[in-house]
Structure 1
Amino acid sequence: MKRILADALAQRGYDTLTPVQQAVTDPTLKTADLLVSAQTGSGKTLGFGLAIAPTLLGEAETWDAPAAPLALIVAPTRELALQVRRELAWLYDGAALAGAVGGMDMRDERRALARGAHVVVATPGRLADHIRRGTIDLSAIRAVVLDEADEMLDLGFREDLEFILAACPAERRTLLFSATVPPAIERLAQTFQRDAQRIQVAAAERQHADITYLAHEVTSGEVEAAVVNVLRYHESTGAIVFCNTRAAVNRLAARLTNRGFPVVALSGELSQAERGHALQAMRDGRARVCVATDVAARGIDLPGLDLVIHAELPTGSDTLLHRSGRTGRAGRKGMAVLIVPPSARRKAHRLLGWAKLSADWTPPPSADAVRARDRDRLLEDPIWWEEEGADPQTVADLTARFTPEQLARTLLKMRAERLTAPEDLTEPAAPRAPSEFGPSRWFELDAGRHKRMDPKRILAIVCKGGGVTRDDVGAIRIAPHASFVQIREDAADSFFAATGGALSDGIRIRPAEAPPQAPKPKGKSKGPQKANKPMKPKPPRPAGGKGPEKRAKHAKPKPTKN
């Protein structure tokens, strides 16, 4: 067993283990159940593969003929399950691996299980379906691994997991890996594990210590242009750009494709086959940029991914860490870049604070900075010192016919044709002091008090629709059928361009002159009164009983005689 694993690790160039891998392979824990806190990117897949190997192989040096599965590996998503299977395929050289993964052909899975397998990698729903149909034999199971158990509970797989664990033999090892250990995970461990050993590895800090965080403040309306310059400046071998919606993914992927970037898009609307093709294009180098939503990118591991761009900020700090953790994995260096328009400045600070991360706040790379970086890369390219691969006669003809200046100009022109031109970006305005507003413009909204408008509601509509912050908004005045908003001068053009002349709820907006000053009411008014009609003084009330008017009002009329 040791020789099989040692040979596999040597072929892959592994000479040291990560902290989580060292912890779970401790010889004293060889037969114990484990409850492990480990983040994605900490090397846990290889860790649990090494940990359960003695349980599966014992002292044998080869795998027996496949029969009933010896181990189950359960992961929350298709992508993660397929990734785990690829990792174990080289580690368990010679073993038969089968899948039970949602979205794949179930008939192929039944045939593979019938032929026999040493390890089955599965998603919870599909595995539970095989168990109910009787198409998988669990009688020989020696080890069960639940990978990212907290995420499986979040996705609603609690009942499936309990069903799967209850169907497995009682005499087995159960390894439970989870980024966090909430009460639901503790209850699962207490129910289905035997004296589990708790292992807690501070993987999040180590992982994100290998990630450099940058925050680029950009002018409203120039987010996509800033993404272009960031990609061009770094020229990474693999980058993933996160957006919050499918529409944003499709729009940004189309723009980057038009600019000449080799791009694939990942969103929930794609079929499993389309997602697989997109990821394979990233793995084999046909694409260098993946534009994705959070859901589509969950659990994927792309080799060589050294740049993560948050084109749109996530909703929470956990998502920020999850996105950024796609790079800087297993000791490799990575970079995470936040694109921050004025409307998201405060949100970016909050997210970084909640995640306990620090970022360098800098302007995005300018067009000149990109060109300077291109020049440095050209001069440092090792191809200059390579003598092979060029026809000596052609080299002699070129140097004899053209001057060095001609050759250099031609080289630069040919190289520029293959590179995407950088964008000219506007330098964002520095945040102003709260007491200083400065030059401004007025805009008129065709909604006022008749549509129940109030300053708080107008501020929210204007900031969301115009891509500005409350610091860019000055006075707000509301009339019966219109409202007037004051916008800072250096944000006015981009604000109106972002609105397109309309805001939410069908509200139209247009530039306007300063609204007339509303007259200030004198004193306090209790409500509208009729003009030129003084109030009648109340008659004095007698000391005892009701007044004469009251008595007359309540007195019974006397009958009249005919």
Structure 2
Amino acid sequence: MTEYDNAVPAIAKALAKRGYETLTPVQQSMLDPALVDADALVSAQTGSGKTVAFGIAMAPTLLKGAERFSQAGSPLGLVIAPTRELAMQVKRELDWLYEMTGATITSCVGGMDIRTERRALERGAHIVVGTPGRLCDHIRRGALDISSLQVAVLDEADEMLDLGFREDLEFILESAPAERRTLMFSATVPAAIAKLAKSYQRNAVRIATAAEEKQHVDIEYRALMVAPSDRENAIINVLRYYDATNAIVFCSTRAAVNHLTARFHNRNFDVVALSGELTQNERTHALQAMRDGRARVCIATDVAARGIDLPGLDLVIHADLPTNSETLLHRSGRTGRAGRKGISALIVPINARRKAERLLGGAGITPTWARPPSADEVAARDDERLLSDSIFDDAPREDEQELIEKLVSSHGAEKLAAAFIALYRSKYSAPEEIAEVSLEARKPRDAGDPASRPLTPRGDFGPAVWFSLSVGRKQRAEPRWLIPTLCRAGGFTKNEIGAIKMQPDETFVEIAAAQADAFLKKLGKDGMMERGIKATRLAGAPDFNSFTRGEDGPVRDGPRMDKPWKDRPRKDKPWKDTPRRDQEQKERPAKARAAGSGPRDERRMDDEVWGPAPKSKSFAGRKPSAGKSSDARGPKPFDKGKPKAKSGGNDRRK
């Protein structure tokens, strides 16, 4: 007797055919007889088999004791998922799980042809799987009739609320019959999920599986410390070292996804991208390429990769640190699924260690702090894989024996081995050299703690070497972007940078003597950094007394200007910074005098635009009255349409 014999017979047969020998805790909990026809709020971590779990839970209500479904009509079951990829994945799982029940399962997801979905709904379906937005569209247009709905499932309910689908979920649940079953599956149960469950469930059974208390026990977490400039090189070496069947690299932005995808393509990796800017067809093809082995590395953003399940995904790399601990767990949950082992590697720049520690601490994870695999370690791992390759286990075939003898007699065993090694290594990208960084955590800057590291005054910076940079104030150089540029170029932190002295055309920078040689070595012979900045090592300290105040202002070791801005002479301000209207105001009086008009006419619009002033007979020969304007030429063009004063005469002209 197997442990899923309590399931509906058709479902049990499908599980046996699929090779299920044991069920996960959340799947076993769905077989509890007390749960039949009851609402449930289930919290289980990603990768715990939730799709099969709610498939098992829905079956008794949908089939009502029958072995197979009758003819399809209005849907009896509805599964709501946050993303298109997860909805399509759920449909694939339910297809094999309900194969022997004769169920018709239809998907309704954004990005697909809505007309095709409408025709499928018109033909009838037993179960509909969809995303909130598209399901709402079908319901409002009358294409989806959920009046016969018996079970509604909310998969990844917490993610749907985070993505802003609360109103859509409420609309769908309020449109469904009140006597339906409602099953909610969520990785966590925050207050918003508890409130939603209280509003739309009836006496729900709360189920918390053991996996909720121990987060991803099959995942090995590794925090890899790198210099900021070596982040991408570290990702390459990690991919090469583990050589996983499938790997996913998480980035924080679409631009980062596009950048890494282009670079990895150039490095001979079989890589696909997954981001929100891709069409549904492109995203489907990318995932299919990972499933059938045409691609081995997927570079994705968080939103695009929610809920995806890739077979053989053994490695997750966090190229950019996640924003919170929940996202860290969600990303890592792509691996270590269904009893498989997996590795979650965080690429941690040395200036982001504290952020990484906060994220890991919030997730309750104690990682292994280490450096990324070096080029030598990657090469040694390649040699191990080569020597243990299964190709050596196969005996030579008879039709190959003659060719083998010719090769051995022509080239010898040593040359053949060398050629085989070269051919074996040609399919891999060469590993990268990575600078070593310290793994020691920074101590807190607390003056009362004797073990802490005190802040060092800039005057006591210690032995340093002066460098000249080929940018200055004229090139709008500023410490706020010069310091990160130096850190990326040299692979050190801002603590190794001392004084910064800016001149009109160059900038002098102090760099700790212990880092000076390594800094020059990383720059190379030309000494070029980002933005075309050239760094030159100086023999000694520059003579700042030789730099006097000139047209470009003083040096940057004191106030920027000797006088307040209001006392500065006008000539110090370049003409290019003067507003354009100032120039026009200088030119207009000269144009007006050339036209023969007086100062009063300078405030009026040009006659060429407005035409001559109108002449009215009522004003001809009229003597000005007291309190009224003596201007008998009629109203000015800009007076037209303005209300007159209530008292006698036009007060505006008094």
TMscore range, shorter length: 0.7 to 0.9
User: 1:361 aligns to what SS in structure 2?
Assistant: strand
Note closer, same or farther for the CA distance 1:66–1:487 as it changes in structure 2 (3 Å cut).
farther
Note closer, same or farther for the CA distance 1:186–1:415 as it changes in structure 2 (3 Å cut).
same
Is 1:417 the counterpart of 2:438 in the alignment? no
1-structure distance, mates of 2:19, 2:485 = 51
Q: Deviations over 1:402-459 (max 9, x none)?
A: 43223212211221222222222222356688468654445678469xx998xxxx56
Matches within 5 A, 1:439-478: 439-442=463-466, 446=472, 458=479, 462-463=483-484, 466-467=487-488, 472-476=495-499
Q: Which has the higher contact order (CA 8 A, sep 6+)?
A: 1
Is 1:17 the counterpart of 2:38 in the alignment? no
Is 1:173 the counterpart of 2:181 in the alignment? yes
User: 1:300 aligns to what SS in structure 2?
Assistant: coil
The one of 206, 209, 229 equivalent to 1:201 is 209
Is 1:339 the counterpart of 2:347 in the alignment? yes
Q: Deviations over 1:269-288 (max 9, x none)?
A: 21111111111100110000
Contact 1:241 1:290 (C-alpha < 8 Å) held by counterparts = yes
Residue equivalent to 1:547: none
| Structure 2 unaligned blocks of 5 or more | 1-6, 444-452, 546-554, 559-563, 565-654
User: 1:208 aligns to what SS in structure 2?
Assistant: coil
2-structure distance, mates of 1:311, 1:37 = 29
Is 1:307 the counterpart of 2:315 in the alignment? yes
Further displaced range: 18-27 or 492-501: 492-501
Instruction: Return the offset for 1:198.
Output: 0.8
Note closer, same or farther for the CA distance 1:64–1:191 as it changes in structure 2 (3 Å cut).
same
Is 1:398 the counterpart of 2:407 in the alignment? yes
Matches within 5 A, 1:262-277: 262-277=270-285
The one of 119, 142, 147 equivalent to 2:150 is 142
Contact 2:42 2:208 (C-alpha < 8 Å) held by counterparts = yes
Residue equivalent to 1:541: none
Q: Deviations over 1:11-61 (max 9, x none)?
A: 222111111111222121111100111222111111111111111112222
Which letter does structure 1 place at the counterpart of 2:404? V
Contact 1:441 1:492 (C-alpha < 8 Å) held by counterparts = no
Q: Size of the alignment, in residue pairs?
A: 511
Which letter does structure 2 place at the counterpart of 1:88? L
Q: Deviations over 1:446-492 (max 9, x none)?
A: 469xx998xxxx56873487447755344456789898654445274
| Structure 1 unaligned blocks of 5 or more | 503-507, 522-526, 528-562
Is 1:133 the counterpart of 2:141 in the alignment? yes
User: 2:79 aligns to what SS in structure 1?
Assistant: strand
The one of 67, 79, 83 equivalent to 2:85 is 79
Which letter does structure 1 place at the counterpart of 2:413? P
Q: Deviations over 1:130-176 (max 9, x none)?
A: 11111112122110001111111122211111111111111211001
Residue equivalent to 1:26: 32
Instruction: Return the offset for 1:247.
Output: 1.9
Matches within 5 A, 1:56-67: 56-67=62-73
Is 1:42 the counterpart of 2:48 in the alignment? yes
User: 2:216 aligns to what SS in structure 1?
Assistant: helix
User: 1:102 aligns to what SS in structure 2?
Assistant: coil
Instruction: Return the offset for 1:70.
Output: 0.8
Contact 1:42 1:207 (C-alpha < 8 Å) held by counterparts = no
Contact 2:26 2:44 (C-alpha < 8 Å) held by counterparts = yes
Q: Deviations over 1:162-216 (max 9, x none)?
A: 1111111112110011222222222211111110011112435545211111122
Which letter does structure 2 place at the counterpart of 1:500? R
Contact 2:27 2:52 (C-alpha < 8 Å) held by counterparts = yes
Note closer, same or farther for the CA distance 1:200–1:239 as it changes in structure 2 (3 Å cut).
same
Contact 1:207 1:330 (C-alpha < 8 Å) held by counterparts = no
Contact 2:487 2:493 (C-alpha < 8 Å) held by counterparts = no
Note closer, same or farther for the CA distance 1:159–1:400 as it changes in structure 2 (3 Å cut).
same
Contact 1:238 1:289 (C-alpha < 8 Å) held by counterparts = yes
Is 1:51 the counterpart of 2:74 in the alignment? no
TM normalised by structure 2 equals 0.72
The one of 104, 108, 111 equivalent to 1:100 is 108
Max radius of gyration: which structure?
2
Which letter does structure 2 place at the counterpart of 1:13? G
1-structure distance, mates of 2:466, 2:129 = 62
Residue equivalent to 2:437: 428
Is 1:246 the counterpart of 2:272 in the alignment? no
1-structure distance, mates of 2:141, 2:300 = 35
1-structure distance, mates of 2:503, 2:379 = 54
Contact 2:529 2:535 (C-alpha < 8 Å) held by counterparts = no
The one of 531, 537, 545 equivalent to 1:500 is 531
2-structure distance, mates of 1:273, 1:238 = 21
2-structure distance, mates of 1:66, 1:163 = 24
1-structure distance, mates of 2:371, 2:462 = 23
Contact 2:369 2:439 (C-alpha < 8 Å) held by counterparts = no
1-structure distance, mates of 2:42, 2:482 = 46
Which letter does structure 2 place at the counterpart of 1:308? V
The one of 375, 381, 387 equivalent to 1:379 is 387
Contact 2:227 2:492 (C-alpha < 8 Å) held by counterparts = no
Q: Deviations over 1:312-349 (max 9, x none)?
A: 22222222221111111122110011222222233222
Note closer, same or farther for the CA distance 1:343–1:488 as it changes in structure 2 (3 Å cut).
farther
Instruction: Return the offset for 1:293.
Output: 1.6
Residue equivalent to 1:4: 10
CA RMSD of aligned residues (A): 3.2
The one of 365, 371, 386 equivalent to 1:363 is 371
Residue equivalent to 1:532: none
Contact 1:207 1:328 (C-alpha < 8 Å) held by counterparts = no
Note closer, same or farther for the CA distance 1:291–1:216 as it changes in structure 2 (3 Å cut).
same
Is 1:90 the counterpart of 2:96 in the alignment? yes
Contact 2:47 2:337 (C-alpha < 8 Å) held by counterparts = yes
Residue equivalent to 1:407: 416
2-structure distance, mates of 1:109, 1:376 = 51
- Identity rate of aligned residues, in percent? 56
Q: Deviations over 1:498-539 (max 9, x none)?
A: 65367xxxxx99878757599x99xxxxx9xxxxxxxxxxxx
User: 1:302 aligns to what SS in structure 2?
Assistant: coil
Instruction: Return the offset for 1:377.
Output: 0.9
Which letter does structure 2 place at the counterpart of 1:462? I
Residue equivalent to 1:164: 172
Instruction: Return the offset for 1:351.
Output: 2.0
1-structure distance, mates of 2:379, 2:314 = 21
2-structure distance, mates of 1:170, 1:142 = 9
Which letter does structure 2 place at the counterpart of 1:184? A
1-structure distance, mates of 2:463, 2:322 = 33
2-structure distance, mates of 1:336, 1:475 = 37
TM normalised by structure 1 equals 0.83
1-structure distance, mates of 2:529, 2:309 = 36
Residue equivalent to 2:297: 289
Which letter does structure 1 place at the counterpart of 2:495? D
2-structure distance, mates of 1:315, 1:473 = 28
2-structure distance, mates of 1:297, 1:21 = 24
2-structure distance, mates of 1:310, 1:205 = 23
2-structure distance, mates of 1:164, 1:176 = 14
